[in-house]
Amino acid sequence: MKKIFAKLTAVIIAVACLISVFAFVGCAKDTKYKIGVLLYNFTDIQGKQIKEYGDYLSKDFDVSFVYVSVGADDDAHIQGLESCLNQGCNAIFSGYNTAIDTCIEKCEAAGVYYGLLLGDTAATQIDSAKLQSKYYLGGVKQFSGNPAAVGELFAEVVNATEYTKIAGISFPPFAFVDGNAIFNQFTASVSETKTVYSAGNDPMPFPFNYNGDYWYFMFTQEACEATVTAMFTAHSDIEVVIGMGSGMDYILPALRNGNHNNVKMLALGYTDDVATYMQNGTLLAAGTNNYVHCMASLFARAYDALESDGTAWYADRAAANSEYYQYAGADGAADYTILTSVSEVTDFKTYVIGNKENGPITNEELKQCMLTFNANATWADLTSLTTKTLAQIKTVRS
């Protein structure tokens, strides 16, 4: 009877895991801590990289991860959060700042830590009380906290070409605030011999600093293609497109579908065929977040908080109740790798999206920047670790 019961239990667990795939990815193993991750999907480079690094972290830390796919609206996001809570997660990483006050409130009630894996607190509407909650871990700034540097690099790339007619396209300014800083710096740095066509949209000065100059669309391929059509209807001689959101997933296919096959592009985004597009001259530059950096930054804070009941705090990190907390240094940072050659794509595949034991951050390197394992660890050290460039990572690993 015991053997029959044991077999029946195993079958029930296996079926539960199989059924759960529709709501979340995998059944987490029995560990000291369980961390939930909320993303739209886990099938693109973003989701795959986050999962692979989570698997690597679990080799040396007593943690497991639950990966939950969520919809874009508030209700779907909250349902995903509740799924994590129901599965006993001790911390939850969300890729988005969706319904953040409600999410922190629910996590506070459950004694669970919450952080923004791909979001920036400074660009988030968050209640001051929730901002100062011990259960709010903070966010992660993309582009090492300096998106304007990408605009500067894009200008350098374009200035080195013979192309002169340029336009920009992205997600809406309020949905991708960093895009504003990138394009503003690009237009300020590009040569006077170049023409940057304006979309002629209404500016959104504060707090977005959008000048009305690039085209934007709302998150679907159909909307992107309609906007691309509008761009080329207004300016049929566009030679270069700055595709910021998302260049590889949306904008490049829209250019192809619109038969704009000779147009060059600088893209935010990465797919497996980036090298091919660089070889044939379509892509002048492309790139993506270092998702290992994003995970490492937030994981260090979460693990330290779990081990200390929320008391661990880097001495050089802005205090939660200080006027500098939201806008100057409370969030972590991650590098955004911009690739401009096939050789750099090869290095990126090897040292960033390849084997994590020889990747951007080893577990032992991360431990040295965590207060749980090193009482002398600093916020500056952690930030330095999670903003290493591709060249710096290659130097250490090769």
Statement: residue 219 has pLDDT above 90: no
Statement: residue 10 has pLDDT above 50: no
CA 368/CA 146 separation, integer angstroms: 25
Whole-prediction pTM value? 0.87
What is the reported pLDDT for 71? 85
Mean pLDDT score, 96-121: 95
pLDDT digits (tens, 9 = 90+) for 292-313: 999 999 999 999 999 999 999 9
CA 98/CA 40 separation, integer angstroms: 12
Of 258, 265, 257, 269, nearest in space to 281 by CA: 265
pLDDT band for position 329 (50/70/90)?
A: low
Token pair listed for 2:
């015991």
Q: Which of 55-69, 240-254, 318-332, 343-357 has the lowest mean pLDDT?
A: 318-332
pLDDT band for position 177 (50/70/90)?
A: confident
Token pair listed for 379:
């916020």
pLDDT band for position 25 (50/70/90)?
A: low
pLDDT digits (tens, 9 = 90+) for 189-214: 999 999 999 999 999 998 889 999 99
CA 209/CA 196 separation, integer angstroms: 18
Residues 6+ apart with CB under 8 A from 395: none
User: Residues 196, 167: contact at Cβ < 8 Å?
Assistant: yes
What is the reported pLDDT for 265? 98
The DSSP symbol for 110 reads: H
CA 37/CA 210 separation, integer angstroms: 31
- Going from N- to C-terminal start, the domains of the chain cover 2-138+290-397, 145-289
Statement: residue 26 has pLDDT above 70: no
pLDDT band for position 336 (50/70/90)?
A: very high
What is the reported pLDDT for 72? 76
Query: Longest Cα pair distance anywhere in the chain, in angstroms?
Result: 84
Task: Tell me the CA distances in angstroms from 312 to 94, 304, 332, 375, one per residue in order.
Answer: 21, 6, 15, 10
Statement: residue 375 has pLDDT above 90: yes
Would 2-138+290-397 and 145-289 be classified into the same CATH topology? yes
CA 363/CA 356 separation, integer angstroms: 9
Statement: residue 69 has pLDDT above 80: yes
Q: What is the CATH number of domain 2-138+290-397?
A: 3.40.50.2300
E strands in 32-150: 33-39, 63-69, 91-94, 113-116, 136-138, 140-141
Share of the chain above pLDDT 90, in %: 79
CA 10/CA 308 separation, integer angstroms: 35
Phi, psi of 166 (to 5 degrees): -130, 145
Token pair listed for 341:
């050659």
- Summary mean pLDDT of the chain: 91
Statement: residue 18 has pLDDT above 60: no
pLDDT band for position 122 (50/70/90)?
A: confident
E strands in the chain: 24-25, 33-39, 63-69, 91-94, 113-116, 136-138, 140-141, 165-170, 195-196, 215-216, 240-243, 264-267, 283-289, 332-333, 336-339
The DSSP symbol for 210 reads: B
Q: What is the CATH number of domain 145-289?
A: 3.40.50.2300
Statement: residue 323 has pLDDT above 80: no
The DSSP symbol for 194 reads: S
Burial code of 43-67, b = ≥16 C-beta within 10 A, e = fewer? ebbbbebbbbbbebbbeebebbbbb
Residue 102: CB atoms within 10 A of its CB come to 14
User: Residues 114, 103: contact at Cβ < 8 Å?
Assistant: yes
Burial code of 73-98, b = ≥16 C-beta within 10 A, e = fewer? eeebbbebbebbbebebbbbbbbbbb
